[in-house]
Amino acid sequence: MSEPTAEQTPEPVDNAGPIDNSLVDEAPAETDPIEAAPVKKSKKEKKKSGPVRALAETVVIIGVALAAAVLIRLFLVQAFYVPSGSMENTLLPSDRIVASKITTHFSGVQRGQVVVFKDPGGWLPAPGPAPGGLSGAVHSLFTFIGLLPSDSGSDLVKRVIGVGGDHIVCCDIDGHIQLNGKSLIEPYIKPGDTTDQVLFDVVVPKDNIFVMGDNRSNSRDSRYHLRVHDGGVPVKDVVGNVFVTVWPLSRFTFMSIPDTFSDIPSAP
């Protein structure tokens, strides 16, 4: 074999070995503009946004509360003002009472309940003109919302004596109302009062109720309207049954059906 000549140069040998990446400095990454620190609001901007946000929240809260009050008044309960003494001493003039609409809707009207109902026609004189001006508008608004009791002059409050089909007679030999043949002992009647101002013998028409005031000698009730439906009030005119007197606080009382109505015979 021939030996290499002087002119031949051996190939270089790489003795550096692999590059150690850990020794290489990496270039700093560019800052992502999305992840940049948020810009802080100035003190003036904070002062402006604070009251505006609080005002907006207050308006929303008031709006929700008023809407809830309207829904409650329309579908659940409604407050009323007692204008006369026809229900003494159960209710006194100027009492504030609350009637349940929802129980009347689902359970109907029961004997012995005190109910609020719309004038079925001719029971009340024509209401006077509503108060005008700003105060009248505010009063009407608050009444509609339910913040003030209704005093429209077109509502009445009486006690239900009979319902559709009941036979009612005034009176037995002791001056008591007879309901389906049973004499009613009525402890709610105003002390010293009687119930025989008008004598009658009627059968309550279907879907009607026969009502009387607890202050019998001072109540223009079904007895005085016998020519129309035998004094009956259409059930559809009933707003609700009164379940509590709320004002004045000294007269705060829950109402229930008197025991005298617990064992009335069925209508004939």
CATH of the domain at 172: 2.10.109.10
**Percentage of residues in the chain with pLDDT exceeding 70?**
67
Average of per-residue pLDDT across 13-18: 47
Residues 252 and 205 in one domain: yes
Which one, of 200, 257, 254, 256, lies nearest residue 229 by Cα? 200
Q: Is the pLDDT of residue 263 over 60?
A: yes
232 vs 7, higher pLDDT: 232
Q: Is the pLDDT of residue 24 over 60?
A: no
Three-state SS for the chain is: CCCCCCCCCCCCCCCCCCCCHHHCCCCCCCCCHHHCCCCCCCHHHHHHHHHHHHHHHHHHHHHHHHHHHHHHHHHCEEEEECCCCCCCCCCCCCCEEEEEHHHHHHHCCCCCCEEEEECCCCCCCCCCCCCCHHHHHHHHHHHHHCCCCECCCCEEEEEEEEECCCEEEECCCCCCEEECCEECCCCCCCCCCCCCCCCEEEECCCCEEEEECCCHHHCCCHHHHCCCHHHCEEHHHEEEEEEEEEECHHHCEECCCCHHHCCCCCCC
pLDDT confidence of 25, banded at 50, 70, 90?
very low
Residues 174 and 47 in one domain: no
> Quick one: pLDDT at residue 57?
77
CA separation, residue 75 to residues 35, 99, 103 (Å) = 53, 11, 10
Residues 119 and 243 in one domain: yes
Average of per-residue pLDDT across 153-168: 93
CA 150 to chain centre: 13
> Quick one: pLDDT at residue 152?
61
Instruction: Tell me the whole-structure pTM to 2 decimals.
Output: 0.71
The first and second tokens of residue 120, run together, are 């079925």
pLDDT in tens, 79-92: 898 989 999 999 99
Mean pLDDT check: name the lowest of 94-103, 106-115, 125-134, 239-248: 125-134
173 vs 44, higher pLDDT: 173
188 vs 31, higher pLDDT: 188
Q: Is the pLDDT of residue 56 over 70?
A: yes
Q: Is the pLDDT of residue 244 over 90?
A: yes
Tally of structural domains, the chain: 2
Q: Is 92 a domain residue? A: yes
Q: Which of 24-28, 78-82, 105-109, 156-160: highest mean pLDDT?
A: 156-160
Domain termination residue (choose one: 54, 75, 96): 75
Q: Which of 55-69, 120-134, 155-169: highest mean pLDDT?
A: 155-169
Average of per-residue pLDDT across 164-174: 96
pLDDT confidence of 266, banded at 50, 70, 90?
confident
> Quick one: pLDDT at residue 63?
72
Residues 154 and 60 in one domain: no
Look up the domain containing 187 and give its range.
Answer: 78-136+149-261
